[in-house]
Amino acid sequence: MNEALELMHAVARKLTGQAVTIRFKEPQTSRPANAATCKGLDGAAVIDIDPYWNRPDDELFRLFTHELAHVVLHLGIMTPVNVTIASAVYHAPSKSTDAVTRSREAEAEALADKWRKFAMYGWENHYRVHRSRFISMLKALLYDYNK
C-alpha cells in the first residue's frame, strides 16, 4: 500500500495544487461515510479514508477522486478543525441544508468524474509496467493529465 499512498499524495498535490494529507483512519462524520475531507487549523486539507472499508480498487479510486474534488471546490468554506485530535469531520458545514449538501456533492461528482474518465482512458499504458489498475489510474492522472 505504501507506493499507492505515496502516489495518492502526489496526485492530490497535482489535482488540487496544494499539499493534502491522506490518512487511512475512520472518518468522524455525522452520517456514516467511507471517507471525509476536512480542513486543519493550518488551513491544509486532510482526507480520512476508512481503513476497514474493503472494496475493489475502482471504488477506492472513485472515493479518492470524489474527496479531492471537495478539496478543490469546498476547502475554502470548511470550518478548520484540529485534525490531530479529531479525525476528519463531515465536510458540509453544520448550518447547511440538505439541498446545499446535495448540490455540493453533485459538484464534487462532476469534477471527479472528469478525472476518472481521463484515468479510464489512460491507465492501460501504465499497466504494462505496474500490473495494478489502481496504481496505473493514479499514474495516468499524475503524468498524463493536463488541467
Burial call 84-109: b when 16+ CB within 10 Å, e when fewer: eeebbbbbbeeeeeeeeeeebbeebe
CB of 111 to Zn ion, least distance (A): 11
Instruction: Using the minimum distance from each CB to Zn ion, give the nearer residue, 105 or 144.
Output: 105
What's the min distance (Å) between Cβ of 116 and Zn ion? Answer: 14
Q: C-beta of 104: minimal distance to Zn ion in Å?
A: 7
In the bound state with Zn ion, the residue whose beta carbon lies nearer, of 34 and 136, is: 34
Query: What CA–CA distance (Å, rounded) separates 8 from 46?
Result: 12
Choice between 101 and 132, CB closer to Zn ion = 101
Minimum distance of Zn ion from residue 126's CB (angstroms): 27
CB-wise, 36 or 83, nearer to Zn ion?
A: 36
Which of the residues 70 through 129 are near Zn ion (CB under 5 A)?
A: 105
User: By Cβ distance, which residue is nearest to Zn ion?
Assistant: 105
Q: How many residues bind Zn ion (CB under 5 A)?
A: 1
Q: Which residues bind Zn ion (CB under 5 A)?
A: 105
